[in-house]
Amino acid sequence: MKTLAQIAAQLQGYDPQALSADAVGEFLSHLVVPVRETESVGVFEALGRVLANDLVSPISVPPHDNSAMDGYAFDGAQLRTDRPLVLEAVGTALAGKAWQGTAAAGQCVKIMTGAIMPAGLDTVIPQEFATVDGTRITIPANVVQPGDNRRHKGEDLHEGRPALLQGERLGPAACGLVASLGLAQVEVRRRLKVAYFSTGDEILSLGEPPREGAVYDSNRYTVHAMLTRLGCEVVDMGVVRDEPALLEAAFAEAARKADAIITSGGVSVGEADYTKAMMKKLGDVAFWRIAMRPGRPMAVGRIGESVLFGLPGNPVAVMVTFLAFVRPALLKMMGARVTATPYLRALSGEAMRKKPGRTEYQRGIVTREADGSLRVRTTGNQGSGVLSSMVQANGLIVLHHAQGNVAPGDAVDVMMFEGPL
């Protein structure tokens, strides 16, 4: 594992007082390493887990050539373009119950979807296109081509070839794919353990009565929810008051228990508290000012073996810095293949003021218009404490570092919050 100084020395123009969002991502990708331990889990438990090794198909799927339709199987070489083909049905092939005979020229076999193609037959006429008169089947000219409506052995997955690559985060389709190979268990990386706590003397825990100048802790709940979505094991450490002994104990416990520690609050410039001092005392920690909005201050480093993400306190800044930086870093720690988050391009419904030289994340509402185009407008108040803006939004409009003002109708990038799968 590299020290922060070693990573910083590798990066061009590293300036902790003015880091671009891209530079933060790059720094973090050097800071974190994937967990090594693996475990075997059942397919029903595999959702969201990260595949530890390439999964080589033990079988071909489908295991045989089979019919894609209910209809009649025959040898397509007999088809003519100038006249119908008349065949005699001599048997039935059912899914799971193959027809064992041999069809001669002029013969066909009634076949159901998924049934093994009888030997020598390569084409299926769907039953709705055939004219049936007893066992006499008439296939009109030019309705099917030789080879139509037959699924080939191994067309989905081929025996001996990798069906899934290590680093795959298993989604619903991948879970089904694992099962389609006949595998009941799958080897995945162990879950990443992430401890988190909120700091600040003004932060109330649920159950405490309101008091003047104090706000209820929301960050622990958004962080908990985002970590849960990612598939991490969470260690909730509550709100830690601004006292050196309490902070020291909390950091020590978090470092002992977890692969990563997420805190919120107490990292702003000129913050009159002990959080930053304690991070510095206990670990190898850098304090950054990031050229972004919201979410300028952030502390990053290591305490013991754990990676520390010291996020700002403002509730929107917590979510934005988590999505922009912490999430990709945690995915790498989970052993997942990390690809750049795909953005959607939408046309801005309004003008947006934007200064080049920092990345801005605006809360956006994307809609699909009647003409099929994607439009995005911002939610109202974009203040970094306005958590309701994140609830109204369905994505973050990402105004990139070099970008300037946006005019109505300009295309902008949006990081969507949720997909259907």
- Cβ proximity to Mg ion: between 149 and 199 the closer is 199
Q: State which of positions 51-90 bind Mg ion (CB under 5 A).
A: none
Q: State which of positions 228-247 bind Mg ion (CB under 5 A).
A: none
- How many other CB atoms are there within 10 angstroms of residue 153's CB atom? 16
- CB of 359: closest distance to ligand AMP in angstroms? 19
Q: For residue 64, what is the DSSP state?
A: S
Q: Which does 202 bind (CB under 5 to 8 A by kind): Mg ion, ligand AMP, none?
A: ligand AMP
Among 75, 168, 217, 413, binds ligand AMP (CB under 6 A): 217
Among 71, 118, 265, 283, binds Mg ion (CB under 5 A): 265
- CB of 234: closest distance to ligand AMP in angstroms? 15
Residue 205 φ then ψ, to 5°: -85, 155
3-state secondary structure of 396: strand
Indicate whether 297 belongs to the interface with Mg ion (CB under 5 A): no
Q: Which does 219 bind (CB under 5 to 8 A by kind): Mg ion, ligand AMP, none?
A: ligand AMP
- Cβ proximity to ligand AMP: between 203 and 286 the closer is 203
Indicate whether 389 belongs to the interface with ligand AMP (CB under 6 A): no
Q: For residue 44, what is the DSSP state?
A: G
Question: Nearest to ligand AMP by Cβ — which residue?
Answer: 313
CA 278 centroid distance within chain? 34
The number of residues that bind Mg ion (CB under 5 A) is 4
Q: State which of positions 358-387 bind ligand AMP (CB under 6 A).
A: 385
Q: Give me the residue label for tokens 């070693």.
A: 6
Question: Nearest to Mg ion by Cβ — which residue?
Answer: 200
Indicate whether 200 belongs to the interface with ligand AMP (CB under 6 A): yes
128-137 long-range contacts, CB within 8 A, separation 24+ = 129/71, 130/71, 130/72, 135/88, 135/89, 135/90, 136/86, 136/87, 136/88, 136/89, 137/72, 137/86, 137/87, 137/88, 137/89, 137/108
Indicate whether 266 belongs to the interface with ligand AMP (CB under 6 A): yes
- How many other CB atoms are there within 10 angstroms of residue 177's CB atom? 21
- Cβ proximity to ligand AMP: between 99 and 361 the closer is 361
Start-end of H helices in 202-354: 219-230, 244-257, 275-282, 315-321, 327-333
Q: Give me the residue label for tokens 């690809």.
A: 339
Among 48, 294, 312, 364, binds ligand AMP (CB under 6 A): 312
How many angstroms separate the CA atoms of 359 and 396, rounded? Answer: 12
- Cβ proximity to ligand AMP: between 267 and 406 the closer is 267
- Cβ proximity to Mg ion: between 123 and 198 the closer is 198
Using alpha carbons, select from 137, 88, 146 the residue that is nearest to residue 117. Answer: 146
- Cβ proximity to ligand AMP: between 90 and 204 the closer is 204
* Residues contacting residue 389 through CB under 8 Å, at least 6 positions apart: 316, 363, 379, 380, 381, 382, 383
- CB of 314: closest distance to ligand AMP in angstroms? 4
Torsion angle of alpha carbons 301, 307, 312, 318, nearest 10°? 150
Among 124, 203, 232, 329, binds ligand AMP (CB under 6 A): 203
Indicate whether 294 belongs to the interface with ligand AMP (CB under 6 A): no
Q: Which does 167 bind (CB under 5 to 8 A by kind): ligand AMP, Mg ion, none?
A: none
Q: State which of positions 177-216 bind Mg ion (CB under 5 A).
A: 200
The number of residues that bind ligand AMP (CB under 6 A) is 18
Cross-strand bridge partners of residue 413: 345, 398
Q: State which of positions 299-358 bind Mg ion (CB under 5 A).
A: 313
Pairing of strands 374-378, 344-348: parallel
- CB of 251: closest distance to Mg ion in angstroms? 16
* Contact between 290 and 296 (Cβ < 8 Å): yes
* Residues contacting residue 176 through CB under 8 Å, at least 6 positions apart: none
Residues that bind Mg ion (CB under 5 A): 200, 265-266, 313
Q: Which residues bind ligand AMP (CB under 6 A)?
A: 198, 200, 202-203, 215, 217-219, 264-266, 268, 271, 312-315, 385
